[in-house]
Amino acid sequence: MKTSAFFNTHHSPVGAWASLTFGAPDLGMSIDLQDPIVKKSGFMMAGMANERGIRSIGFIDMPKASHIDLKSEGTLESERARAERTRAMFGFCGEEEISRVLTPSKDIFTAGNITFTVYTPYDELPDPDKGEIPAIACLPGILMDVTVDNTDGDLPCTAFFGMGLSDAKRSHSFEENGLVGHRHKGEWAFAAREADGAYLVRGLDAVAHLKNGTRGVHQNGPAFLCIAVPAGEKRTLTLTWSVYAREGSSGTWNCTYYYNRFFGNLLEGAKAVLDAQDALRAISEKVDGELLRAGQDEARVGLFCQAVRSYYASSQLLLDEENRVRWNVGEGAYVWRNTIDLCADHITWELRRNPWIVRSLMDEFIDYYSYTDTVTFAGIEGEYPGGVSFTHDMGCYFDYSPVGYSDYEHSNETTRGFYFYMTTEELLNGIYCMAGYALHTGDREWMMKRKDLLPALMESLENRDGFNDEMRNGVLKASSTRGGKCGLESTTYDALDHSLLEAAGNLYVYIKTWCSLILLKKCCALIGDAETAARADRMLDKCRASVKLFRTDAQPWLKANAYRDLPGAVSAAAEPLSVPHMLGALDENTDPVLTALLREHSLACLEKGVCRDAESGGLRLSSTSRNTWTSKVVLTLYAIERVLGLELPEGMAQETINWGHVSARETTVSDQIYADTRQVLGGLYYPRIVTTSLWL
């Protein structure tokens, strides 16, 4: 991997909903446990010291203003001055002296004789239906090495890892159970093993102790974990940042974190991480070897290395009261639990890494978070049969929502506001997830258990097309009565403008319906359901015949909505092609009408000033909305390149990468960016950008 830029990055255990977030020397660190938002938790450093001085690779928040703020009596200036004093006191290296290499499993910072390595080995999680998930797969901590090369030195020195916390009143340094370290209540700790020669330094006189190689602890001031490095030797201080929580959810299901099967408190988990250090380093090498290949575009892979960490920073591996394993990915800082919009895109990674997660989530959605509704049609009186669909999510933040309902979707009296039902979109997402698992794994046994779902899904698609065959044209146009009098269903793109917001007649939904029918046919073939496959074929014929509803003489791109006069060109229409292509269910020969249609449409969208932003050259998902989403842009670019065979405009892929590494350098990632100004809008800590796994 080439040298990486400096930007904040998550460093997270698997399934612990936690992150030690850092990566830029001027941004400090954020300690996140079940609280996904960047905080100013303090500063940290890894370095070496002897009687001649101290040098370290440091991460400290540097206030951007240095002038006197009269309203705050010079507070900003004093904060910056304090940070500058800390940098000078501990010999922080300048950015130009530090190199960084970020891989899927390692984050490596090097300056002179100091190397600081953080290991986050995102290996496969064993299928819990085939046996217990072992402790090493879900350790509640990360491993770190501070290596100091003193082979050319003529003086002994101290290798250290240090921190200064913004909230130091509820934390203390400890020597306990063979560990030395610094912990915050029983929630998180930095720790090393005494048996490895580690010792503690803490206090306002820490500089002297570091230089002299002596121990000394006062429960005030910055804290350090240290080892001695004799002259002429190279040694490594190994430590962990570990977390501990018992309760992982409440509401409909009270769950505990899975790692509680193995560890009863914080220090037991920390010790287990340190005891497994050799294995964790080996797994990191193995994972990097599996994911990194010669010939990959290193810039694109670099964004994946950032994004996969946001996915795991949002993850929970849980055990419910019936001893059932549950997996949750929170929607970043929005914290919806297992949003099915995201599940359908996460399969780009999960099917590669942990296919059982997709099966498990679909079992939960089918058994607990599905429902059958009735529908209405614009301009037609009465309610009509709808069919099966799935909730937007399984709850919010800590709580699982009631069975059959999400926490996001609400009944609305008017079309103003947010939180509309997404019944049509979630029906399609459920098909993507179910078909994704079945087609990727070939698990016919599971598909047979769910065989009655295929005709039910087909019926739901038909009923949302129309209540009789004469109405049906392959363009979904119904609205669920669950949504209330507003008569509006939104799509996953509800934060964009009206070209993508409303589901009925929507071009993106039309293409996703087309792709869902192709996937349903493949699933029918897996279990021999010829009748449902024939129904899917009939609806596919209707989709092809309805292309004319989206064509106009006014512009070369397809209309954003078949039934509404909307001005936008929607590049996101190509996005639904990506997952079926990844599954091997779709290429340019599978449905030539579909691919030819979208090739022409996408070429028009890629023109500068249409969906190619005139200022930045980045891709807009809708020409009329500057709010663009990194994860969905990646899917769209993949479809344009790999399925449609088009060449991207110069710089478009790099612009997408910059949204993660430059625009969102303070927030780790953002899934909502203003395409013209490159300003972060929202979607912080967002897991869905793991769609970049397609770029591997």
Distance of CA 629 to the CA centre of its chain: 13
Average pLDDT over residues 348-354: 97
Average the pLDDT over 484-512 and give the result.
94
The CA-atom distances, in angstroms, between 275 and each of 71, 141, 271, 486, 660 are 52, 12, 6, 58, 34
Q: Which H helix or E strand runs over 80?
A: helix 75-89
pLDDT category at 170 given cuts 50, 70, 90 is confident
74 pLDDT above the threshold of 70: no
Whether residue 341 is predicted with pLDDT greater than 60 in this model: the reply is yes
Joined together, the tokens standing for residue 94 give 């300048």
Query: DSSP of 247-289, one letter per residue?
Result: EEEEET--EEEGGGGT-SSHHHHHHHHHHTHHHHHHHHHHHHH
99 forms beta bridges with 110
pLDDT in tens, 211-231: 999 999 998 889 999 999 999
Confidence band for 76, pLDDT divided at 50, 70 and 90: low
Percent of residues in the chain assigned helix, strand, coil, to nearest 5: 40, 25, 35
pLDDT at 72: 47
Burial of 238 (0-12, 13-18, 19+ CB in 10 A): buried
Q: Is the pLDDT of residue 67 over 70?
A: no
What is the pLDDT confidence band of residue 66, given thresholds at 50, 70 and 90?
Answer: low
Dist CA 386 CA 480 (whole Å): 7
One-letter amino acid of 493: Y
Mean pLDDT, to the nearest integer, of 240-266? Answer: 97
- Please tell me the distance from the alpha carbon of residue 507 to that of residue 553, in angstroms, as a whole number: 17
User: How many C-beta atoms surround the C-beta of residue 85 within 10 A?
Assistant: 10
**Cβ-proximal residues to 283 (8 Å cutoff; 6+ apart), any chain:** 105, 121, 123, 136
Query: Quick one: pLDDT at residue 69?
Result: 47
> With 60 as the cut, is the pLDDT of residue 71 above it?
no
Q: Which residues lie across from 157 on neighbouring strands?
A: 229
For 287-329, how does the pLDDT look when each residue is reduced to its tens digit (9 = 90+)?
999 999 989 999 999 999 999 999 999 999 999 999 999 999 9
pLDDT of 467 > 50? The answer is: yes
- Give residue for tokens 């340094």: 173
Cβ contact 389:459 at 8 Å: no
Given the structure tokens 């926490």, which residue do they identify? 407
Helix (H, G, I), strand (E, B) or coil at 467: coil
**Both structure tokens of 318:** 């849980």
Burial class of 73 by CB neighbour count within 10 A (0 to 12, 13 to 18, 19+): exposed
Q: Please tell me the predicted confidence (pLDDT) of residue 523.
A: 97
Q: Is residue 64 over pLDDT 80?
A: no
Please list, in sequence order, all residues whose beta carbon lies within 8 angstroms of the beta carbon of residue 105, skipping any fewer than 6 positions away.
119, 120, 121, 122, 283, 284, 285, 287, 288
Task: Indicate whether 428 pLDDT > 70.
Answer: yes
Among residues 536, 511, 523, 533, which one has the least CA distance to residue 594?
511
Q: How confident is the model at residue 70 (pLDDT cuts 50, 70, 90)?
A: very low
State the pTM of this model. Answer: 0.96
Cβ–Cβ under 8 Å, residues 256 and 326: no
**Residue 201, pLDDT score:** 97
Res. 430 pLDDT band, cuts 50 70 90: very high
The count of other CB atoms within 10 Å of the CB of residue 226 is: 26
Share of residues in the chain with pLDDT > 90 (%): 92
Tell me how far apart the alpha carbons of residues 599 and 678 are, in angstroms, rounded to a whole number.
27
Sheet with 233-243, strands from edge to edge, namely 99-102, 106-111, 114-119, 141-150, 233-243, 188-193, 179-184, 171-176
Mean pLDDT score, 511-519 = 98
- CA dist., res. 297 & res. 294, Å (int): 9
Average pLDDT, the chain: 95
Note the pLDDT of residue 68: 46
How high is the pLDDT of residue 111?
98
| Residue 1: pLDDT band with limits 50, 70, 90 | low
Q: CA distances (Å), 659 to each of 64, 310, 388, in order?
A: 21, 14, 38
C-alpha 261/C-alpha 280 separation (Å) is: 20
Find the DSSP H helices in 92-215.
206-212
Label residue 371 by pLDDT band (50, 70, 90).
very high
Reply yes or no on whether the pLDDT at 73 is more than 50. no
Give DSSP secondary structure letters for 629-642.
-HHHHHHHHHIIII
CB 483, CB 417: distance < 8 Å: no
| β 114-119/106-111 pair status | antiparallel
Given a cut of 90, whether residue 22 has pLDDT beyond it is: yes
